[in-house]
Structure 1
Amino acid sequence: MRRAAMMGRRPLSTASAILAGTVLPGGLAGAGQDAFITPQSELFTNVTVIDGRGGPPRPSSAVLVWGGRIQDIGAQGSVAAPEGTVVVDLSGSYLLPGFIDAHASPRTTEELRALLAAGITGVRDGAISLAAFEERGRGGFGDDPVPVVYVGGPVLDSGSATPGVALESEAAAVAEVARQAADGAGFVSVASGVPLSWLVGIARAARRAEVPLWADRRDGGWLLALRAGSDVAGPLVSGDPELLPENERGPFEALVEAGQVPAQVAWLERLEPQGPEVDRAVTALLSSDSALLPLLAGASAALDCPADAATCTPLSNDERSALEAVWPKAEALVRTFHGHGVRLLVGSDAPRTTPWGEGFHSEMQLLVEAGIPALEVLGMATRNGAIELGQLHERGTIEIGKRADFLVLEANPAADIRNARRISFVVIDGDAWTFDREGDWRRVRFN
């Protein structure tokens, strides 16, 4: 896929600071060098591999990388390396696939670099505008160290005052799907303003073109969009009346219309996480093999309201207390979907409600706090994202033949998900990078 061009410098973020202060594991030398590195093979040894496929961590492993791809994986001492291979001792470190943010809208290289500093090597641009699409063009973006950006075409929208493609009819929407697919779009995104009556036609057009449909944020909830043919549902705390008991739907909508309490509080108060309405939603997701994008960090963002979040609205003390009181229902709901085998994704919703990079790690932590094992959350953040973007053949797991896009961590994230922030270096297409103390990415040279 395409990479964005370098456009400037950002101050050190938390993850950047961790990288800048890291003492690289034994076997690394010359970090921060700009000298051209001739393509070579590297054997990463004495490392614990978390491959993203759901199995337990594999200690004392070796991973052979050459030509930007993983050439071999095995137990320590079992991997044969070509003559001249550089051996990199990673004793005490953990190697896992790069993270995939399934819902963010980066616009600048500074924002992309912040994501990369958080270990995100791939990101789905979920709301690209027509102007941004035309500015970027359809060509390559160079080879600078930023995440791979997965873009569809401009987001489909209706009416005239829209940043996406303004559509006046269902027929125009169907034609736009075909045009974007012919232009190489990896998926089609639909804004919440598109009439629900158009979605069936849009979904059929997407299926004919063999591109996924992302209608993952709908006014009034996602169940109807899912039934129409959306391949991704979400967010979890949706305000969808259909997920509530029938006798609670009227009171909920009245409260929201009156603005008496925050909508997410009113909705969670009336939710039955193991009720028959949720069971029907589980069936709808499983029968269509659709994924669920929880966006828990976005739903709870108003508790903290990060300074660099675009649309976060602070809650009053009473509203904060009310949301905290009903939050266990959100946790129970995500456990219900996970327990039934629904494929969950990890998305940050940056910059709408969470900061770059930080929101992704907050999302993983919230999923763990909801009761999902950290190892499974790591699979959601890697393998599941690759599945939904049609990239599992290239990324998302540590397997022979796949691109060498992975992270090396100082501590075990399966034991404590917060350790996913402790990044020693990031490998993209076989090249290792870290931050220098000025906040710039530097190639790591192995000797």
Structure 2
Amino acid sequence: MPGTGTPAGCRVAALAALLGLVSLPGRAPGAQDPFPAARAEVFVNVTVIDGRGGPPRPSSAVLVWGGRIRDIGARGSIAGPEGTVVVDLSGAYLLPGFIDVHASPRTTDDLRALLASGITGVRDAAMPMDVFEERGRGGFGDDPVPAVYVGGPVLDAGSEARGMPLESEADAVREVARQAEDGAEFISVSPRVPHEWLVPIARAARRAEVPLWADRREGGWLLALRAGAAVASPLVSGDSDLLPEDERGAFETLAAGGGTRSHVAWLRRLEPHGPEVDRAVTALLSNDASLAPLLASAAAPLDCPPAAIGCLPASEAERAELEAVWPRAQALVQTLYGHGVRMLVGSDAPRTTTWGEGFHREMRLLVEAGIPALEVIGMATRNAATVLGQLHERGTIEIGKRADFLVIEGNPVADIRNASRISLVVIGGRAWTVGPGGVWTRVRFD
């Protein structure tokens, strides 16, 4: 992640020197923008990966004006307005900003750490009630921060409720309607909400035309999908319904302790191509539902980030056990992908991973599971924008869309690790770099 003394931070400085860029510090609240609103820039000599699934387009040019993408084509084929600045990116790669569909940022510093990893949009997966009351939706201050998608305080129940506390099924149905009327673009339900409430909650969400996200259901996500959830997670779910019937009792006994040993016990009994998984695929496809695998969260951290919530570090022995059965998780990913299940990329930060790093690790794990890197990039951009109702604005490089994109140094299709080699982050047409001490600066091209 770019930052003080990091190689990525040095690369940003080197790129700035190469292009002759002038960078200004981020604006204070209320300060006048020193950049003219009508300024246009055309980025040339760049390979465009548009997020739509097609092959990379080398030697391309992208015209940005008024915060939006105005034209895309071969160099020399694009004419901008008078005064357009030509920015020669010398063989770099341009792709949509990433969208993390499963993280819990609480501060502007959290968001800027995500942004340094190219994440220009993030779904807050479990907004506690106190944070929602303090900040509400979109109250994260000034540029530069990713767009934050908050449905509202997560529907919650029980004595340990951290979101919107509910006492009955009727309370839950009323809260869904209230959040939808308040402008929530999705509804999140915590694992503590009783299973029997899921069907009426899902029906209320459908009536309100907002998707239901069901994260980390106890016993797995298949029941939530059958109830009508639009998005479920994680892949390594501990769902006994996905196991052969004669294995379920033994697994449930071993799973009582949770953590890595539960993941190992579940994967050992999983048949990635069995009839139980076929039924799960049917449930996903028939609901047009999506799955956030959260592989990085399941991959047994040997330690936990300082801000981690509920993270259980794995011992060396547990890690070895998990690695032995991890090919079953990869086979399950291949089965779902092969059947056309829409998958998303989420980091689960800060539960088990640090800001940004977990997102890139998730992409690497999906590639290691057999999904082409180009498809993983689409999951991290186009698919996320689709599920969040943002595809008209973000998620792909297309004419008319917001100019939210990344400039990176290496080819991420050849090696997904190159997706973290970020030189510029462009948000709404404004280019930014991050330097020593995590200080963000605006970039002017002259």
Shorter-chain TM-score above 0.5: yes
Alignment of 1:229-268 (within 5 A): 229-257=228-256, 262-268=261-267
CA distance in 1, matches of 2:20, 2:209: 44
Kindly state the Cα deviation for residue 234 of structure 1 after the two structures are TM-superposed: 1.4
CA distance in 1, matches of 2:336, 2:138: 39
Letter in 2 for 1:163: R
Q: Which residue of 1 aligns with 2:184?
A: 185
Q: Which residue of 2 aligns with 1:107?
A: 106
Is 1:19–1:435's contact at 8 Å kept on the other side of the alignment?
no
Q: Secondary structure at the match of 1:91?
A: strand
Q: Do the aligned partners of residues 357 and 310 (structure 1) sit closer, same or farther apart at CA in structure 2, a change above 3 Å counting?
A: same
Is 2:347–2:356's contact at 8 Å kept on the other side of the alignment?
yes
Q: Which residue of 2 aligns with 1:17?
A: 9
What do the CA deviations read for 1:217-239 (whole angstroms, capped 9, x no partner)? 20110000000010012100000
Q: Which residue of 2 aligns with 1:431?
A: 430
Letter in 2 for 1:42: E
Is 2:188–2:212's contact at 8 Å kept on the other side of the alignment?
yes
Letter in 1 for 2:35: I
Structure 2 residue runs of 5 or longer lacking an equivalent are 27-32
Kindly state the Cα deviation for residue 302 of structure 1 after the two structures are TM-superposed: 2.4
Q: Which residue of 1 aligns with 2:29?
A: none
Structure 1 residue runs of 5 or longer lacking an equivalent are 1-9
Alignment partner of 1:30 out of 22, 28, 37: 22
Kindly state the Cα deviation for residue 313 of structure 1 after the two structures are TM-superposed: 2.0
CA distance in 2, matches of 1:169, 1:197: 11
What do the CA deviations read for 1:238-264 (whole angstroms, capped 9, x no partner)? 000001011100111111237797100
Q: Which residue of 2 aligns with 1:120?
A: 119
Alignment of 1:98-177 (within 5 A): 98-138=97-137, 141-177=140-176
Q: Do the aligned partners of residues 13 and 436 (structure 1) sit closer, same or farther apart at CA in structure 2, a change above 3 Å counting?
A: closer
Letter in 2 for 1:294: P
Q: Which residue of 2 aligns with 1:333?
A: 332
Q: Secondary structure at the match of 2:437?
A: coil
Alignment of 1:35-434 (within 5 A): 36-39=34-37, 40-138=39-137, 141-257=140-256, 262-303=261-302, 305-306=304-305, 308-434=307-433
Q: Secondary structure at the match of 2:43?
A: strand
CA distance in 1, matches of 2:391, 2:408: 22
CA distance in 2, matches of 1:260, 1:31: 46
Greater Cα offset, 437-446 or 307-316: 307-316
CA distance in 1, matches of 2:318, 2:272: 22
What do the CA deviations read for 1:312-366 (whole angstroms, capped 9, x no partner)? 3222222111111001111111111011100000000000011100000000000
CA distance in 1, matches of 2:313, 2:208: 42
Q: Do the aligned partners of residues 198 and 260 (structure 1) sit closer, same or farther apart at CA in structure 2, a change above 3 Å counting?
A: closer
Greater Cα offset, 36-45 or 155-164: 155-164
Greater Cα offset, 313-322 or 151-160: 313-322
Q: Secondary structure at the match of 2:73?
A: strand
Percent sequence identity is: 71
CA distance in 1, matches of 2:138, 2:303: 39
CA distance in 1, matches of 2:357, 2:95: 19
Kindly state the Cα deviation for residue 144 of structure 1 after the two structures are TM-superposed: 1.3
Q: Do the aligned partners of residues 164 and 259 (structure 1) sit closer, same or farther apart at CA in structure 2, a change above 3 Å counting?
A: closer
What do the CA deviations read for 1:388-424 (whole angstroms, capped 9, x no partner)? 1000000000001100000000111111000011000
What do the CA deviations read for 1:353-394 (whole angstroms, capped 9, x no partner)? 111000000000000111111111000000000011000000
Letter in 2 for 1:135: E
Q: Do the aligned partners of residues 147 and 259 (structure 1) sit closer, same or farther apart at CA in structure 2, a change above 3 Å counting?
A: closer
Q: Between Structure 1 and Structure 2, how many residues are aligned?
A: 438
CA distance in 2, matches of 1:444, 1:270: 53
Q: Under a length normalisation based on structure 2, what TM-score does the superposition of the two structures give?
A: 0.94
Kindly state the Cα deviation for residue 12 of structure 1 after the two structures are TM-superposed: 3.7
Letter in 2 for 1:281: A
CA distance in 2, matches of 1:281, 1:59: 40
Q: Under a length normalisation based on structure 1, what TM-score does the superposition of the two structures give?
A: 0.94
Is 2:12–2:423's contact at 8 Å kept on the other side of the alignment?
no
Q: Do the aligned partners of residues 116 and 13 (structure 1) sit closer, same or farther apart at CA in structure 2, a change above 3 Å counting?
A: farther
Q: Secondary structure at the match of 1:31?
A: strand
What do the CA deviations read for 1:156-179 (whole angstroms, capped 9, x no partner)? 011343111110111110100111
Q: Do the aligned partners of residues 389 and 259 (structure 1) sit closer, same or farther apart at CA in structure 2, a change above 3 Å counting?
A: closer
Is 2:4–2:435's contact at 8 Å kept on the other side of the alignment?
no
CA distance in 2, matches of 1:105, 1:247: 38
Is 2:260–2:322's contact at 8 Å kept on the other side of the alignment?
no
Q: Do the aligned partners of residues 25 and 12 (structure 1) sit closer, same or farther apart at CA in structure 2, a change above 3 Å counting?
A: closer
Kindly state the Cα deviation for residue 21 of structure 1 after the two structures are TM-superposed: 4.4
Letter in 1 for 2:119: I
Q: Secondary structure at the match of 1:360?
A: helix
Query: What is the root-mean-square deviation in Å for CA atoms of aligned residues?
Result: 1.9
CA distance in 2, matches of 1:395, 1:215: 24
Q: Which residue of 2 aligns with 1:6?
A: none
Kindly state the Cα deviation for residue 24 of structure 1 after the two structures are TM-superposed: 3.2
CA distance in 2, matches of 1:304, 1:258: 18
